[in-house]
Amino acid sequence: MSQLPLFGKEEKKLINLKEASVWASRYLNRKVTISNISYLVQYGRIKKYGSDGNPLIDTDELKNYYDSYDKEKRWKKILGEDLNWHLSFVEYKESERTKHVHRLHPYKGKFIPQLVEYFLDSHTDKFKKEIYFHEGDIVLDPFCGSGTTLVQANELGMHAIGIDISAFNAMISNTKVEKHNISLLEEAIHQLTLKLNDFQKTRNNIAFEEHLLSELAKFNYKYFPSPEYKRKVRKGEINEEEYAKAKEKEFFKTYYALVEKYQIKINQDRDNTFLDKWFLFPVREEIDFLFGELKKIDNKDIKVVLAIILSRTVRSCRATTHADLATLKQPVTKTYYCKKHGKICKPIFSIKGWWQRYTTDTLYRLKKLDKLRTNTFQICLSGDSRRIDIYEEIKRRKPELASILLKQKIRGIFSSPPYVGLIDYHEQHAYAYELFGFKRRDELEIGPLYKGYGEEARDSYIRGIAEALINCKKYLQKNCDIFLVANDKYNLYPKIAERASMKIVNQFKRPVLNRVEKDRNSAYAETIFHLKER
């Protein structure tokens, strides 16, 4: 640790990034990485001393920053002392919360795997007094989503059955849990990438985008230096709205000159569908080309995995701002000031970079799960959990699991039902439904956004969740344990339990610290309701 005098003022205790990560880890009693400290510097949360090659941090400033963000005390003051901070899983890094296949494809509203592990894992946990599930049990998730419960059941040596009204959700879940021929997948990816490269050689969008990125880098370095610019905005030394608007307009000259030089067609000829409206013409050309090549592949399993990768790629290439990825507002067809990154950004003109990134990432994640995989069965059924005949569907789709199901029945449920009036689950993947031709079943969603959260919508939600539980009970063991994760701000779950002839025997209120594409500083909690037969 070094102490450097600054113009006769009190000496500051300056340490390097590695020392800062060690200091912060000890102070907070959890792992703080060098990257975490670098983030604080990059975004102007704490000041950087020293040089770019040897950045130094003031320990007092670091302490003041962490003290001001003592979330546990602050959140308990807002949300109540019954908040179970252990279930925040604050000690886990982002890479652990999205481990192996859990980040195979984006999905709104999924819970983290550590939450599933806590309630499913039968190993000793000093914070958990009861054990609810054991190896060899069958776990049911009637609102399967993207398959988090199924994946963790596999890792923990349990069988699992999922149900989801969305055919695309079932496709994501099954791709995660199924065993794939990695060598065949690698070869298929290689061949598709070569064909995409050859196709792009006949177009100008790659050269255009590279030239545009070069010009943006120079412009942003000059007018939006990081972290100085963001710190000046925060201190009020720069009027962000006025300054950004002027610089955005100034860069348009360069942008349109490059569009003219490379003869780039920006807009599609129509905007009737999601794929027509939300993708620039060069991107749509590449999507259609790659999908056409993908359809020629004979191996069904390989084709499905590649379709998931393509869907993930397509989602990242929508013509929108970085700040509006969660809630699309208006298609973006030119460079713009990005409030999220504090500089001029651009829309996507080619899928190449994202395709390469996601093919590599998918192979890595599938291999990681293969090292942890157990010899158990998991499957997600596409259907309505209020009506589906689970046994007959499993018998048809996975006979080996059907024989186990008939013998021992399902031990219990761990699921996160849809939240009333929050998400349209089909619409979040509208691009995939159009591209792959899946039939949408929006009218069968429980509590969708488009129905709102008024009294009628709430009553419909109560009926829907209760009907699903009643149907599923036919396949459950006696004295089963049911865990439902919900933010029940309308106090609907006591009514749901009563309607399903169940009782709430326990509740675990947990803070949600890492809400995707949400304000992470606002206090937010969800409850895990533990239900049993009345």
Of the given ranges (25-29, 122-126, 296-300), which has the lowest mean pLDDT?
122-126
Alpha helix (H) residue ranges in 378-475: 390-397, 399-408, 430-436, 455-473
Determine the Cα–Cα distance for residues 24 and 245; give it in Å rounded to an integer: 38
Q: Which of 198-202, 321-325, 515-519, 520-524 has the highest average model confidence (pLDDT)?
A: 198-202
* Residue 10, pLDDT score: 44
Give residue 174's region: left, alpha or beta (phi > 0; psi -120 to 50).
Answer: alpha
User: Quick one: tokens of 15?
Assistant: 């340490």
pLDDT tens digits, 271-326: 999 999 999 999 999 999 999 999 999 999 999 999 999 999 999 999 999 888 77
Q: What is the dihedral of CA 147, 150, 152, 155, to 10 degrees?
A: -130
Q: Of 425 and 499, which is predicted with more confidence?
A: 499
* Residue 226, pLDDT score: 87
First to last CA, the chain: 62
pLDDT at 469 over 80: yes
pLDDT tens digits, 399-450: 999 999 999 999 999 999 999 998 889 999 999 999 999 999 999 999 999 9
pLDDT tens digits, 167-214: 999 999 999 999 999 999 999 999 999 999 999 999 999 999 999 999
Determine the Cα–Cα distance for residues 322 and 335; give it in Å rounded to an integer: 12
Alpha helix (H) residue ranges in 373-398: 390-397
Determine the Cα–Cα distance for residues 351 and 108; give it in Å rounded to an integer: 22
Average pLDDT over residues 495-520: 85
Q: Which of 28-32, 466-470, 518-522 has the highest average model confidence (pLDDT)?
A: 466-470
β pairing state of 476-486 and 336-338 = unpaired
> Which domains are delineated in the chain?
2-69 (no CATH), 84-178+374-533 (3.40.50.150), 182-364 (no CATH)
φ, ψ at 507 (rounded to 5°): -140, 140
Query: Residue 209 CB: number of other CB atoms within 10 A?
Result: 21
Q: Say if CB 493 and CB 504 are below 8 A apart.
A: yes
pLDDT at 127 over 70: no
Q: Rounded mean pLDDT of the chain? A: 92
Determine the Cα–Cα distance for residues 486 and 512; give it in Å rounded to an integer: 11
* Residue 300, pLDDT score: 96
Question: Tokens 């990081």 sit at which residue?
Answer: 226
